[in-house]
Amino acid sequence: MTNEVLKTILERSSIRAYTDEKLTQEELFALKQAALASPTAMNRQNQRFIFVTDDAKLDLLENAVMQSIIDSGNADFAERIKARGGKTIYNARLIVIITAPQAHYSRVDAGIAVENIALAAKSMGLDSVILGMPEGVFTGPRGEEMKKEFAFPEGNEFCIAIGIGHRAMDKEPHTWDGSHVIEL
């Protein structure tokens, strides 16, 4: 069976190193469409998608994520990140931060949206990494300040983020264990 969607799903992997090549306006537009086309529970559409491409904002986010990891007190995790070059957004040229009000299914909806974006990126020849670590930036001591800095709508919370760009590393898609599927 030849199915381009399944092919894209099976070829995608989390890439943790990107080139400096910026995304085109056409690529950004297509990714915005993928985000907005994501289904939501009861068609609430209460998510907001913050597209960050500004170098200064990307640097601010990179530094803030690392600081939130250090501030968390998890020294082992901080050392692991430092050993990998101290990168948490991996030089991605686009970070999409998905926010929503705290509501039933908001995080499920965000998970659906982030997958839509990841698969759209892969289908366009881009790569991605789904990011949970930025959460500490928006929930920590400077959380409210950082929400303003990144234009969070009033009342919205961080759900998940994704880094997108042109890969600067090779990585095979992960393998899976068929026994994780339960048939009844």
For residues 1 and 5, what is the distance between their CA atoms, to the nearest angstrom? 11
For residues 138 and 106, what is the distance between their CA atoms, to the nearest angstrom? 16
Bridge partners, residue 130, by sequence: 162
φ and ψ at residue 176, rounded to 5 degrees: -135, 165
**Residues 143-180 pLDDT 10s:** 999 999 999 999 999 999 999 999 999 998 888 899 99
Closest CA to 114 of 56, 18, 49: 49
For residues 121 and 106, what is the distance between their CA atoms, to the nearest angstrom? 22
**Residues 61-105 pLDDT 10s:** 999 999 999 998 889 999 998 888 889 999 999 999 999 999 889
Residue 31 near residue 50, CB atoms below 8 Å: no
pLDDT at residue 19, as a whole number: 97
The pTM is what? 0.94
Q: Give the domain 18-168 fold.
A: NADH Oxidase (3.40.109)
Angle at 63 between CA 57 and CA 64, to 5 degrees: 85
pLDDT at residue 157, as a whole number: 97
Q: Residue ranges per domain, the chain? A: 18-168
